[in-house]
A and B are shown apart, each in its own frame.
Chain A
Amino acid sequence: MAVKDFIRERFFPHLWCPGCGHGIVMNNMIRAIEKLGVSKNDIVMVSGIGCSSRITGYLDFHTLHTIHGRALAFATGVKMSRPELNVIIPMGDGDALSIGGNHFIHAARRNIDITAIVMNNRIYGMTGGQYSPLSGFGINATTAPYTSIDNDFDVVKLSIAAGASFVARTTTYHVKQMADIIAQAILHKGFSVVEIMSQCPTYFGRKNKQGNAVEMINSYRINTTPKGSKAKKENPSLIERGIFIQEERAEYCKEYDKIIQRATKGNK
Chain B
Amino acid sequence: MAKQKLKEHRINREWCKGCEICVEFCPKNVLAIDKQGKVVALRPEDCIICKMCEQRCPDLAIEIITE
Q: Which A residues form the contact surface with B (CB < 8 A)?
A: 2-4, 7, 12-14, 16-24, 26-28, 31, 172, 175-176, 179, 212-214, 217
Contacts and interface: CB of A to CB of B under 8 A. Distances in A.
A179 B55 CA distance: 9
- Provide the main secondary structure of the chain B interface: loop
B21 A213 contact: yes
B57 interface: yes
Contact of A24 (B15, B17, B20, B58): B58
Contact of A212 (B14, B17, B20, B57): B20
Chain B contact residues (Cβ within 8 angstroms of A): what range?
10 to 19
Q: Which 4 A-B pairs have the closest CB atoms?
A: A23-B58, A19-B19, A18-B17, A18-B19
B56 interface: yes
Interface string B37-67: 0000000000000001001111111010000
A31 B60 CA distance: 11
Given A175-B52, A217-B25, A27 B57 contact: yes
Contacts of B63: 2-3
A221 to B, nearest CB: 9
Contacts of B60: 3-4, 7, 12, 23, 26-27
Nearest to B58: A23
